[in-house]
Amino acid sequence: MAAYTLERMDALARLPVSTLCDVDKSLPVVDPAIRPLTAKARISGPAFTVVASGEFLSVLWAIAEAAPGDVLVVQAGGGALAALGELLANEAARRELGGIVVDGYVRDRSGLPPELPLWARGTVPMAGRSDVAPRVGGAIAFGGLRVTPGELVLADDDGIVIAPREQLEACVPRAQEIEAVEAEVLAATRRGASLIDMTNLREHVAALRAGEPSSLGITPPA
């Protein structure tokens, strides 16, 4: 892997998901009803896809087969049965998986390891079956998206995006520029500067009202 790619992958692991979405409005965003259930919300890693509709054996199999850093992306079929609980989650943490995201439910919330990012629609007490042959590694439907194995899963407290690595890496330079400007602006506002005065708000609104093309801009003070 080229050095610049390694650098951009490292940058993607740190950049806010919201800033990446500012750069590329076409990034596929997962249904916001899927939320973090453990203390560590940040995720960055390749998707290891799983179908676990009414059962949990596929998730256990995926945990055994996935590589460290992989993120299990679980299509749980919409039923109110848990796709995993504390035993599977703790094994995933022991194997150093990058996280688990479930379009469905999990259980044993108090026993989920805080160091493992784990997202789901919520919790239910009833587990699924364990007598269905595992289904892993294909294209799945997840949170309103079509996800294929190897796509990058990026998540933080704002939500999840899942997209091809190349599309996300292309966002890095502009996202870093935005972060640098916003850091300066935030520092200035904390010193008492006016956010409004650092924008072209009035000119922008005037242009829009006149039917002219315009973009909202923001410039930190010199």
Contact between 145 and 34 under an 8 Å Cβ cutoff? The reply is no
pLDDT in tens, 92-102: 999 999 999 99
Q: Which residues share a beta bridge with 146?
A: 141
61 half-sphere exposure, CB direction, 13 A CA radius: 17
Longest dimension (CA), the chain: 66
pTM greater than 0.85 (yes/no): yes
Q: Which residues share a beta bridge with 147?
A: 140
Checking if the pLDDT of 114 tops 80, the result is yes
User: Closest Cα partner for 206 from 197, 214, 196?
Assistant: 214
- What is the 8-class DSSP label of residue 81? S
Average pLDDT across the chain, whole number:
96
Checking if the pLDDT of 188 tops 60, the result is yes
pLDDT band with cut points at 50, 70 and 90 for residue 132: very high
Rounded CA separation 51/150 (Å): 15
Domain boundaries, the chain: 25-169, 172-209
pLDDT in tens, 146-165: 999 999 999 999 999 999 99
Once rounded to an integer, what is the mean pLDDT over residues 110-136?
Answer: 97
What residue ranges in the chain does DSSP mark as E strands?
35-36, 43-51, 71-75, 99-103, 105-106, 118-120, 122-123, 135-136, 140-142, 145-147, 152-156, 159-163
User: In sequence order, what DSSP letters do the residues of 196-220 get, joined into one string?
Assistant: GGGB-HHHHHHHHHTT------B--
Higher pLDDT, 8 or 179: 179
The CATH superfamily assigned to 25-169 is Ribonuclease E inhibitor RraA/RraA-like (3.50.30.40)
pLDDT in tens, 9-65: 899 999 999 999 999 999 999 999 999 999 999 999 999 999 999 999 999 999 999
Checking if the pLDDT of 3 tops 60, the result is no
